[in-house]
Structure 1
């Protein structure tokens, strides 16, 4: 279990029936999942969480990975009451959902990933070469700062760092660890039913990731939704997601 587990803040909808756990993406909070969660208020009880380091929930230890988030969530759910729970994760929340299903299977009835990240994407040779050069430059900048008290690392981050990296603040070590994770083995270990929903126009977590998850997970259903990207699938695409999730939930009840 993780060394430090803060109290998780959540919004709640409903107070009886099947337990649903909603996990937002990186840089977001529970508000990003509320619109979709409210469409299921008649389906059970819903806890829409601020994950550690976001919204009103305190941080985990420096450099925590998604396995630490899953372990902390397992501690939180042990206090909530009996499961198993259905987890709905968007993007980064999808990573944590996969870890939960792999590491704490008795707590998880099913997982639903919406634009779920966690697997490495196919990259062109040009992209890989550029990434290698930039990583080398970053290491040299860090070494120069250490040896000669320069400030090349700050300049490097300003020039080449992604918006998420620049905005990560105290979560920067966690961000670096998370984006370098590859949850292949964890995906193979998932034994619960899985629904995979991906926007056809998603460039952050493209449909190829969902298709790969479907191949890795024993009981998985992949759906590509045309006309939506990584973010508007939760807003403009809420009703499309609702229809797919309701069909999935019906199949769960019928099993």
Structure 2
């Protein structure tokens, strides 16, 4: 799929980046959120450079990409947007779904990426129990049968299936549902291996959406990566209650990136 060019909406904080001085940051929110979810943490770095806190396509005030777009399409569309700014590298800070897009940016458009920070970054498959895998396989089969029945006999079993078994994100995805389905089935192993920039991986110990095991896998796959597990935080409050812990970790990481 070729990325189109939606009109991106973003908020800015910080100082202007001119004549090679200062650093440009790009902040990418998680699924079902918008740029506002990143503002508290981004504001802590307003003296560190210029920050663009984006609404990703289909969220907030940025228009959708074509149906079924994957994170590679989000990255390609964002690359087109950033090329307008000029030839400079950015530090990407992505939460959850925004972490997926940050990995894709580093893999597909390395000339635009100085470093990436994933906070509860998703994109790799989790270890699942045999019971879970069997249940998932059974539900997948039921879903296929429901779709086949609807197509062949004009039933509405697929809609009933989605209402009963679909996740909250799936049910709330609306017109983004094809994209949601594609995204949750991605496994960014090869993309992670292709990342050559420094990466900081921050995961809450109580995160059940993107558990620390994903961060450890990313650390193994990426050549220059640092994994940190932050005790006592889940997938969401790591951005709010845990903002100062994230700030300290990111500041230390930025110092090392600048010293390289």
Q: What TM bracket, shorter-length normalisation?
A: over 0.9
Matched, 1:13 2:18: no
Matched ranges for 1:75-86 at <5 A: 75-86=80-91
Instruction: Give the match's secondary structure for 1:102.
Output: helix
Matched, 1:104 2:115: no
Matched, 1:175 2:180: yes
- 1:54 equivalent in structure 2: 59
Measure, in 1, the Cα distance between the counterparts of 2:100 and 2:91: 15
Measure, in 2, the Cα distance between the counterparts of 1:82 and 1:115: 29
TM-score normalized by the length of structure 1: 0.99
Are the equivalent residues in 1 in contact too, given 2:3–2:74 (CA < 8 A)? no
- 2:213 equivalent in structure 1: 208
Matched ranges for 1:1-255 at <5 A: 2-14=2-14, 15-16=16-17, 17-255=22-260
Instruction: Give the match's secondary structure for 1:59.
Output: coil
Measure, in 1, the Cα distance between the counterparts of 2:164 and 2:180: 18
Q: Deviations over 1:8-66 (max 9, x none)?
A: 10000122321000000000000000000000000000000000000000000110000
Once the two structures are TM-superposed, the CA of residue 253 in structure 1 deviates from its matched residue by: 1.2
Q: Which runs of 5+ in 2 are unaligned?
A: none
Instruction: Give the match's secondary structure for 2:84.
Output: helix
Query: Please, what is the CA RMSD of the aligned residues?
Result: 0.8
Once the two structures are TM-superposed, the CA of residue 7 in structure 1 deviates from its matched residue by: 1.2
Are the equivalent residues in 1 in contact too, given 2:3–2:76 (CA < 8 A)? no
Once the two structures are TM-superposed, the CA of residue 89 in structure 1 deviates from its matched residue by: 0.3
Measure, in 2, the Cα distance between the counterparts of 1:23 and 1:171: 17
Measure, in 2, the Cα distance between the counterparts of 1:145 and 1:106: 47
Measure, in 1, the Cα distance between the counterparts of 2:140 and 2:79: 35
Instruction: Give the match's secondary structure for 1:80.
Output: coil
Measure, in 2, the Cα distance between the counterparts of 1:159 and 1:60: 28
Instruction: Give the match's secondary structure for 1:58.
Output: coil
Once the two structures are TM-superposed, the CA of residue 82 in structure 1 deviates from its matched residue by: 3.0
Q: Deviations over 1:190-228 (max 9, x none)?
A: 000000000000000000000000000000000000000
Measure, in 1, the Cα distance between the counterparts of 2:27 and 2:87: 17
Q: Which runs of 5+ in 1 are unaligned?
A: none
Q: Deviations over 1:70-129 (max 9, x none)?
A: 000000000122310000000000000000000000100000000000000000000000
Measure, in 1, the Cα distance between the counterparts of 2:63 and 2:195: 28
Q: Figure out how many residues of one structure are paired with residues of the other and give that number.
A: 255
Measure, in 1, the Cα distance between the counterparts of 2:124 and 2:82: 26
